[in-house]
Amino acid sequence: MPSRLLCTAGAGRADGKKTASSRFFAFGKPGKLIIFQCSDHGNMITETVTSPDGSVETFSYAYESDNRNNWTRKIKFQAKKPLNILVREIGYE
């Protein structure tokens, strides 16, 4: 999952929180700038999306984990309202 890779490769901030960013380009013109704040486990906590027109959207994430500390449910929020829920099933041997 690309967003997880960005978080684990992100640089640290002075306050100790991990961050990662990515800028998208369309037809050679600047596109959206996306900045993630990540947990110590590499999971996204917040996502801030700035469009070329200056508009900003902020999203937050909540997780439920199994007994091996792997997330099994990820909820994406905007303005404290859930936008989507991703559930994954992990099989262990």
Burial class (CB in 10 A: 0-12, 13-18, 19+), 56: exposed
Q: Tell me, what's the pLDDT at 68?
A: 93
pTM of the full predicted structure?
0.73
Residue 21 lies in a domain: yes
Q: Within 13 Å of residue 89, how many CA atoms lie on the same side as its CB? A: 1
Residue 53 lies in a domain: yes
Residue 92 lies in a domain: no
What total of structural domains would you count in the chain? Answer: 1
In the chain, at which residue ranges do the beta strands (DSSP E only) sit?
A: 11-12, 18-26, 29-38, 44-50, 56-65, 71-78, 81-87
Task: Give the rounded percent of residues in the chain with a pLDDT score beyond 90.
Answer: 44
- Residue range of the domain that includes 26: 2-87
- In tens, the pLDDT along 16-60 reads 566 666 676 667 777 888 888 888 888 889 999 988 889 999 999
